Structure 1
Amino acid sequence: MLEYECNLLCKLVAIDTDSTQRKNYDKIADLLISEAERVGLKAEKVIDEKGIPHVLVGFSNAPADAKKIVFLTHYDVVPAGEGWDFDPFKPFIKDGKLFGRGAADDKSNIVAALAAFKEVLEEKLPLKVNPVLIVAGGEETGEGESFFRKIEGDICVVLDSGCEGLSIGASGVARLNVKVLGRQAHSAYPFRGKNAIYQASKIVSFIEEVAKETEKKIVSRFYAPTHYEYVPRRISVTMINCGIAANIIPAECNLLIDIRTIPEENAEKAAEELKKTIEDYAEKNGIKVEVEAKA
């Protein structure tokens, strides 16, 4: 592995940039600016209206009238969570791979782009375009969306983890919030209540079956980069939130359902279709639900 890239990646991964806490955002932004300037690139920090710092890196000698090519990356990561066999913020190399939270998504791409820019300078390669590296925050939470919409350029290359290849788009996203309603009671007298968790478990099992059938029936004409032959609509239950105390039968259980749509369909329509499917199932099975669709 290349020494410069490995050393820089280790430094970045060692900084916990938990997106849910906006943790160490300024610290990593300042490190990136310092490193870019150290190798001879120009860099600046841009603070958006939400207070999130973003880093812009470019060449001082780039032709002003040339096409602007934006390389878009992000420094924030999802929370590390539990169950690690090692400290996720103490990166290490094993069998030619670097391990740590954010190593793949998306700090390795930051390093790859910065190293490429550095090599252009060192090799004194003539610039026929105006390359700009943007290292953004708030990608994982969606907080950086307003900043992303303001990015200007002739071409944008999104450097993010995912399929091994070039793609020209990504799946659409829609989500459902499903509130499953029961009746609260003391756990010593469960027969006096209606356990919302039990009711929600039926909904979850139903959605799992719907998801399997959907992957067979709603399929794009485009090839899938991995796993599937063609890209299907994908449905997943990704969050469950319920219960207020160990001795209380819960009256409410909330589910979050994630829908990944295909290019040929409308995300809002897909969400409404699943909403009706869940509502129909709940009505037939005596389960009270409130479903909110977001696309």
Structure 2
Amino acid sequence: MAKAGRALEELVATLETLLSDSLVEIKSPDRIRGKTGGGLREVDVSLRTRVGSANILVIMECRDRSDPQTVEWIDAIAGKQEEVGANKAVAVSRSGFTSHARAQAQAKGIELRTIGEVDRASVWDWLGVAVVTARVNNLMEMKSAQIIIPDSVSTEANSEALSIVSGAASDALILVKTSDGTPASVLDVWRAAPQSDLLSSLRPGETKRGTVHLLPSDPGQWFAIPITDDTVPITEVVIVADFRVDERNVPIARFEYLGDDGPLIEGASAEFSHEGSTVKMVIHSAPDGSMFLVVEQPDGADLSFEANLVLGVIDNDEDSTPAEQ
């Protein structure tokens, strides 16, 4: 389970990446060996670069609390800065700082950052839209599935693979992820693969039965059938199912990433959740006027703010062997 405040740390790391050049290495979180005791100290965000022959380390600590942060937190950050030998420390608080904390930060040379909410009415002036449409792709009921095995697979391996997948349920862990060997099911393939034109053509609330060919967007992040002492690759999975698409309007919130001298970067975000998965879209405007879109979506989430990468339905490969499930 992610620790409280992790979302703020990830946001800060993203904002600092946009503000930094390509020579700055940014990690979140990072573990740095302390000067005393030799133990590792965790920092929320670290930035490393070189100036001439000198290595420069900046650490950033983040807090997503409801009350302004106090001098005690500033002192703790100053102590951590000294312990890890950082050249600079930055404190980021979504709720701001007390006046004593600001004075102590100035005395200790610690820079302060806040995430400031901006009037929602200004979102339209900034982006030209105040809401975005969230799209949820639902597989209502799977009727059948074919797992396609290349003809290059040996007869013995093909036979063993067929015996594993034949008649298995859609949620049975008959596959593995090629990236790390994690057990997976046909439903996991559905969640991971780019969605089909069939789904993009559905009207919100409409249910339709159709055939979808699931192919990898990245061959290194695909699936295989585990057999004795090996795995059998698969080229695609063909499913027949009832599908439905739901849509909802999600309001956009605008924010500013503020330093002591004013805004460093502006942004707008929208997020929605469905069945335990959350997708977040963030638009960032850099000081030079350029804009960046970042979409954060967990693996296996059938959610999007716009159509997922679309790959049209194609015919079965005549040189492949279908493995009926």
TM above 0.5: no
Q: State TM-score, norm by structure 1.
A: 0.22
Q: Which has the larger radius of gyration?
A: 2
Structure with the larger helix share? 1
Q: State TM-score, norm by structure 2.
A: 0.21
Structure with the larger strand share? 2
